[in-house]
Structure 1
Amino acid sequence: MNKLTKSILASVSAVLMTVTLTTSVGAASIHKAGSATIHRRTALTYSYAKKMLKENKTGLSGKTSSIFSHKLYSETGAASGYSDFLLGLKGNHYKFTTSEKNLLRKNLVIKNSSTAATLANAVMAVQAMGLNAQNYKAYGHKTGINLVSRLYRTSVSNQTASSQAETLIAVSMSSKFKQPSHAKFSKASLSYRLVKVQLKNHGWTYNNAQGAKDADTTSMVLTGLSRGKSSASSIESSIQKGQQFLYSLAQSNGAFGYTFNGKTTPNANSTAEAIIALSNNSTTKKYVNVSPMRSGQKATPLYAVLTYVNKTGSIKNATSQLYGVGQVNLAVAAYKAALKGQSVYNIN
C-alpha cells in the first residue's frame, strides 16, 4: 500500500469517525422525559381522569357533559373517546368499582344497527373495565351478548380507515376472542383492506385523500396492523413504509399534529396516537423516549406529550378532556407496557 493510498484512507477514517461522533452526540443530546417527570405528570393527569370518572364528566371545568348517558348519546351511550379514556385508566392500573362498571352497563347502547366502530369501542371499553366482551350483560339483563361475534358479523366496508383500525385492535385484544362462523371479515382480510387504502405517500387518512398528511389516522392504522400480527410480506412492507412516513411527520420538538392547508398544528392527541403506534411495535418503541426518528429532532414524543399536561392534570388545548386526558394516559401506559414486552391492548 503506497503512502498516497494510506493518506487517503487515513483521511476517510478521520471523516467517518467525525460523522459517527457527531451522530452519537446528536442522539445523546435529544431531550428525553426523565422518570421523575413521567411519574409526576402522569400522576396529575391520572388523578384528573379518576375524578372525571367519579363525577361522570368529560371535564372538570368550563363546558362539560356526561361521559356515559344513553339519553345524550342515543347511538353509543357514551361520549366520543370513552374507550381510550377507560383503557388509559386500566393501563395505569386503575381498579374499576362495581358502581363504575354498572354506569357503563346502564348506559352502553348496543343495537342491531350498531356500526363496527361503535361495537369496536364497546369491546375495548368492556374489556378495559374487567367485564367479558364475549358475554356482556347489560344492567338488569341475565342474558349476555357476545360483542366480539357481533362485531365480526358487522360490515366494515363503509367504515373509515380509523374505524377499521379500531376494529382490528378490538378483535385482537384477547387470545380468547374467536372468529365466529359467517364473519364479515378476518384479522387478515381487514389488514389487507387497510393496506389497500394506503396512500402514495405511504400514510393513511380518514377519507383516503391522496396527498394529505394525517398523523392520527396513520398512527391508528399502524397500531391496528401491528396488533393484527400478520406475517404476510405485503403487510409487513406496508407497515415499514407507514412507519417511515410517520417519522417524517415528527416535529423538531418531538410532537405530532394535524395538517390543514399545509400548516401542521402540534397537539397532545396526535402525539399520543403516535406514541401508541410506536409502542405497539418492538422495532419502533425506542423512538418514544430514547432515539430520534429524524434529523433535527430535539426532543422525544414522550417528552413532548408530557409538556401538554397542566398543573391541574388537564391537557392544554384539548378539544375534549375526555380525548386529551384519555389518550395521554393511554400513551404513557402503552410505552410502559412496551418496556416490559407487552401491549396495553392485551386484556384477557
Structure 2
Amino acid sequence: MMSQSYPIGTPGKPWGEAEKAAWVAAQVVQRSYFDEVVCQLEELKDYFDIVQYGLLQYQSDYPLYLLKSQNWQNDKPVALITGGVHGYETSGVQGALRFARDKAAQYTSDWNLLIAPCISPWGYETINRWNPFAIDPNRSFVPNSPAPESAAIMLYLQELGANVLLHVDLHETTDSDNSEFRPALAARDGTEHTNWNFPDGFYLVGDSHKPEAAMQRAVLDAVEKITHIAEADENNQLIGSPVVQPGVVNYDTKALGLCAGMTGAPYVTTTEVYPDSPKSSAEQCALAQVAAVTGALDFVHSQAGR
C-alpha cells in the first residue's frame, strides 16, 4: 500500500485557504503554453479560424483559444475535440493539435470542427491537474462553475448555439497520478485514498446514459493499430470501475461534472492513454489520440449516412 503522506495540510482535515495558498506557491512553470501550443495554432490560421474564447488572469494572463472550421455551415454536424482539461496530460493537448494539423482537412467537408486543444494552460505550464485554486476543472463542468477554465468553454459553446453531435475529450494517466495527484487530492479533501491502480494501456470512458458501445468499439479498433488496449484487472475493472466491454468503462459524465458531459452530444467518449508504459512512447500516445478522434468521426459519419 502506498503512503498517504503529503507535505501540505493535516491528515484527515480538509484544506483551508492557507493550505491552498501554500500549494499554489509551491507550483513552478516548467514549460511554455505559448511556445508549445499557441505557436502551433498560429501555423494553422490558413485552415481554421483561431477564436479567443476567454482569458484566464492568474499570475500571468492566459488567452484561451480554439480552432473553428472556416467553412462553417449550419447544416453540417458539429464535432468538438477537447484536450488539456487536465493541463499535465500532454498527449491530449498535442494529440488535438496533431489532429488539427494532419487529419482535420479530411473531415471539413462533412463536419463543422471545433478543436480546443488546451483548456487549462496554467495546468499545462505547471504540469498540474488542478488550477491555481486547487480545483479540478474536470469535475467543474457544472452551472456557475468554480473553475474559470470550464466556465469559459461552456459559455462559448452556449453563445455559439452549436448542436454538437460528437464530443471526444482527450486525456491520459501518468505515474505522477500516484506520486503527486492522488495524494494531493486526499490531502485537500481530508480523506484517505485507497485505489492506487491504473491501467497499462489505452482505454475509454463512455457515458452511462448514452454508452454508444459500437462507437467505443470503433474507436478502440482504430487505436489498437497504434498502441495497446488496457486489460481489465482481476476484478474485471479499469481504475476501479466495471468494464462494460474490453477497454471501456462508463461514468455518469454530467453528474460528475466531467468535460464529456457538458454539451449533451449523443456521441461522447473520453480517452485515456498511459505514456509511462514500457510498451508505449509519447509519440504513440499522441498518435493514439489522433486515431481516437478519426475513429469516432468515421463511425458517427457512417451512422449518419444510413
TM-score, length basis structure 1: 0.25
Return the structure number with greater strand share: 2
- The structure with the largest alpha-carbon Rg is 1
